[in-house]
Structure 1
């Protein structure tokens, strides 16, 4: 007979002993799970792999802007851009050919080139003659050519290649070449680049985001929410849901796969990291089963808030964001949580940055503890990736 026990210890922040241990043996490092969408976590991820090769990154597949939008419209596929960029951040940089693969996957075709010029460049890539692919060793080169060839064959003649991400075109071909599933091609590329961590979409489904504003206005599509491709939202976000398509309000949902559920339930630490508050963070918590799995995990859950201005946080204090984070997780909990279950345990803050006023009495009622340490080391008001990683590792 086995029993699950929760053990408490005195925590040092940062903990140099634990940090040194993980840095000395990253292959035995802890399993830290990040709910993360966009590029905000990529720099932290590149540092984190020096301390643990067992991080898990659940990224959102709901991006509907830029070149991702054109691929999604063409093939009705999940967004692959965040998946691709996180894989590159976790790649083992000592593997032969890795710089060339990184350059290829992060390259974008020219925004102002003629259509035929772009088609010719894609053809050069498919046949292996383009400078970006010619130096990549086999079998990786052949695999990339195969996936690009699938994409090239399937896109229509008028497909707009301007600004297209080569990495996204490769991932799209892999999706189409594997029975419209992302997991097989992600697994394959993870092995080839020797990713020092695991990256998956929270859902392997082609869905979009919908929000209702405090004003009553409905907005469909991640690209219209972030403020990056359109004007900032005129009113704070009231609620968000997963939507089928972009033409009309059609709320839907899917249950996460068993492997995602197992990853969440077994993580040594769950981190809600910096990123667009709704489209990168809370969007990851919407699929059915996510909140239940979080609350089934007795290990620490840590929220590291954004710095600076996030248009999606318009009208939301840090205290309100904490409440909404907890509410989003708990909305999925269909049964009475087991004793000790939690959606959030700690809020990790820099000890000198002004995040706004926090109600410590209300936090105590939510069973949330503030942890302050040095996370910013210059005047740029950006997190120091090494400080963040070492602080997170001190929790486990």
Structure 2
């Protein structure tokens, strides 16, 4: 059982600060999340009550589900997690947004024939499908144009079974905007009243690869997460960006100046719970991320998983922290200090929820403070309660 020393006592939640944000979310803080997948879905849906300025840098390295079909067809970044986050941040009180949400989250029938699905895509592109008819203008016109575009782009062999309509829309925008995601994300953010900024960490087609303690190499995010295959039973030793699913050759990527600027604008940076390697650490792999974080003068907070992440087999809590610090400092380990990239760790008050021990001497030496709080409620167990976590993060800004 971990022995955790609380090295910082703060007033969390801060009711006055939270109420101020709630009454004027348009002026709320710029909390930046490095994430991917669905772990932050509830956090995102809740946080728009308090701020419309959160920043979400998402991994584009997903290699499973309908994203894999699109990536194989068009050699493009994954858009599924981006679509998921856009919809989580969309204001569902705005007229037409529930219908937009229904459209973006709809998946084509996995059991239908390809001809049936082609006919449905034709119905969508012609604007006759009930899902598209429910969407008000001008969003309906834009979605219909996207359906026409993707219908013209896909090959005869493209498998439409289980395809996400939202992913198809974003893919069409990507292909029609010079293979750039930012323009289509910006446009749909405006039309769907997305209360935050969503961007891929890089406009890249690389794949995630890991080496394991038994010397095996695994390439492909979907093979790492344990969601589409059996979970890894061996400890992950290293992670990198690979050339393709067929080649483990390292790929060097750098973030854009705009992404660096988004990091520099943050008022709090959060490395949240979720898939530790394929979501959080994956976002730190491109060059320039650690340097940009180090340049940003704001609190940097780590929210460890509570023993529910299959990617952390064999890892203690201390090893999670050490791995996180290694990747945060890798741009320039000789000049980037721990204080530049990590200041706080927020833990549940029940230390038995975490694997292994935590090195309190290391935390003290590195100047990392620990905030302990009841993060898990009866309703959220065994996961962290999104509303509780958000109140803490907002209080720390």
Aligned residues: 387
Specify the alignment match of 2:369 in structure 1.
369
In the alignment, structure 1 residue 343 sits paired with structure 2 residue 341: yes
C-alpha distance in structure 2 between counterparts of 1:26 and 1:189, whole Å: 20
State the alpha-carbon separation in 2 of the partners of residues 341 and 272 from structure 1: 15
Moved more, 130-139 or 280-289: 130-139
Aligned-residue offset at 1:216: 1.0
Return the alpha-carbon distance in structure 2 between the equivalents of residues 298 and 147 of structure 1.
41
Unaligned 5+ runs, structure 2 = 1-7
Render the CA deviation track for 1:31-60: whole Å, top value 9, x for unaligned: 100001111101111100100111000000
Q: 2:64·2:228 contact (CA, 8 Å) conserved in 1?
A: yes
- On the 8 A contact 2:10/2:371 being kept in 1, the answer is no
Q: Could you say what secondary structure the match of 2:39 adopts?
A: helix
Alignment of 1:8-157 (within 5 A): 11-157=10-156
Q: 1:335 to 1:293 in 2, by over 3 A?
A: farther
Give the conservation status (yes or no) of the 8 Å contact 1:14–1:373: no
Q: 1:77 to 1:227 in 2, by over 3 A?
A: same
Question: Contact 2:339–2:366 (CA<8 Å) still a contact in 1?
Answer: no
Q: Residue 341 of structure 1: CA displacement?
A: 4.5
Q: Which whole-Å CA distance do the structure 1 matches of 2:389 and 2:335 have between them?
A: 34
Of residues 27-36 and 141-150 in structure 1, the stretch that sits farther from structure 2 once superposed is: 141-150
Alpha-carbon distance change, 84 to 16 in structure 1, aligned in 2, over 3 angstroms: same
* TM-score, L = length of structure 2: 0.94
Deviations 1:315-337 (A, max 9, x none): 11111101100111101126623
Task: Go from structure 1 to structure 2 and tell me whether the alpha carbon gap of 1:122 and 1:276 turns closer, same or farther (over 3 Å shift).
Answer: same
- Name the TM-score, length of structure 1 as normaliser: 0.95
The superposition leaves residues 210-253 of structure 1 with CA deviations (integer Å, 9 ceiling, x where unpaired) of 11111111111111111111122232111111111111122112
Give the whole-Å Cα distance in 2 for the aligned partners of 1:249 and 1:49.
39
Q: Which has the higher contact order (CA 8 A, sep 6+)?
A: 2
Aligned counterpart, 1:3: none
> Offset of 1:363 from its aligned partner?
1.4
User: SS at 1:263's partner residue?
Assistant: helix
How far is the alpha carbon of 1:307 from its aligned partner? 2.6
| Structure 1: gaps of 5 or more residues | 1-8
RMSD: 1.5
Instruction: Name the residue aligned to 1:387.
Output: 388
How far apart in 1 are the matches of 2:9 and 2:15?
14
Instruction: Report the equivalent of 2:5.
Output: none
Are 2:167 and 1:176 aligned? Answer: no
Q: Helix, strand or coil: the match of 2:45?
A: helix
Distance 1:382 1:224 in 2: 23
Following the alignment from structure 1 to structure 2, what is the Cα–Cα distance between the partners of residues 234 and 105? Answer: 35
Q: CA deviation at 1:305?
A: 1.4
Q: Work out whether residues 292 and 334 of structure 1, in 8 Å CA contact, stay in contact via their aligned partners in 2.
A: no
Q: Secondary structure at the match of 1:33?
A: strand
The worse-fitting range, judged by mean Cα deviation, of 231-240 and 282-291 is 231-240
Q: Which residue does 1:230 correspond to in 2? A: 229
Distance 1:311 1:337, change over 3 A: closer
Contact 1:297 / 1:341 at 8 angstroms: preserved in 2? Answer: no
Kindly indicate whether the alpha-carbon contact (under 8 Å) linking 1:269 and 1:301 is maintained by their aligned counterparts in 2: yes
Do the aligned partners of residues 351 and 306 (structure 1) sit closer, same or farther apart at CA in structure 2, a change above 3 Å counting? same
